[in-house]
Amino acid sequence: MNRYAADTACVTSDALPVPGPTLTGRIENYWSRRAESYGEIRRHELACEKKSLWLAEIMPHLPEARPLRILDVGTGAGFFAILLAEQGHCVCGVDMTQAMLDEGAALARQAGCDVAFQRMDACCLEFESASFDAVISRNLTWTLQDAAAAYREWNRVLRPGGVLLNFDADYGSVSFLDLADQHVGINDDMMRECENIRRQLPLSSESRPVWDVQTLRNSGFSDCWCDHGLSARIYAHRDETYNPVPMFALRAIK
């Protein structure tokens, strides 16, 4: 029994059980608690070689027109949003966690760039159809309870010929408890909660990125492409930004 179930199990016979937190609430609470340390990691990324390494991964896949209207879904502390705004693009970053958005806004101010940050559900975007030239995301899809709905929604907001870039990993295939010593700024309680959440997420039982490529095609995308060599290029050296789970890059065209 997990600690949330235990919290609601000990009730008297004449008392109504108190509902435990929903999975969505637990996910949002987890990322809210991590926001400050996460912001520090992204601040370091913006100041080190990771910035140029990520630009090298992203820029060749974007449409040639300038400036582009780009949506960063699950922006977190705004790393991609800031990176692309600095290239002269019009960028909007959305996230379900207000604390993360606050970190992103602070980093954008420090960088002196203009990014529109909004609190929004990645699976139900509050934008008109065909309103973006590109949609980009990192380490979000694995956390979604309906990733297929998210892919359909991202397709909807893209203009014809627009590109989706999704950088993620098969986090469902690993135990975060086994990787605890490789994560910076996450205590044991937080790591256990992350692992408990991971076990309940639908994508944890799927084979990725095979599932993603098929789902993207079913969602109206074409020219779906996957690169398994991302981590070797981005995380060649271990530092506070290191990700021990091998990442993949997905590109798809509407």
Percent residues over pLDDT 90 in the chain: 79
pLDDT tens figures, 57-109? 999 999 988 899 999 999 999 999 999 999 999 999 999 999 999 999 999 99
- Measured in degrees and rounded to the nearest 5, phi and psi for residue 235 equal -115, 50
- pLDDT over threshold 50, residue 25: yes
**Which of 112, 45, 113 is CA-nearest to residue 76?**
45
> How does residue 236 score in pLDDT terms, banded at 50, 70 and 90?
confident
Tens-digit pLDDT profile for residues 140-163 = 999 999 999 999 999 999 999 999
Which pTM does this prediction carry? Answer: 0.88
> What residues contact residue 3 under an 8 Å CB cut-off, 6+ apart?
none
Q: Quick one: pLDDT at residue 195?
A: 92
Strand order in the sheet with 115-119: 115-119, 90-95, 69-73, 132-138, 158-169, 247-253, 222-227
HSE toward the beta carbon, residue 119, CA cutoff 13 A: 10
| CATH number, domain containing residue 30 | 3.40.50.150
Domain range holding 49?
3-253
Say how many domains are in the chain: 1
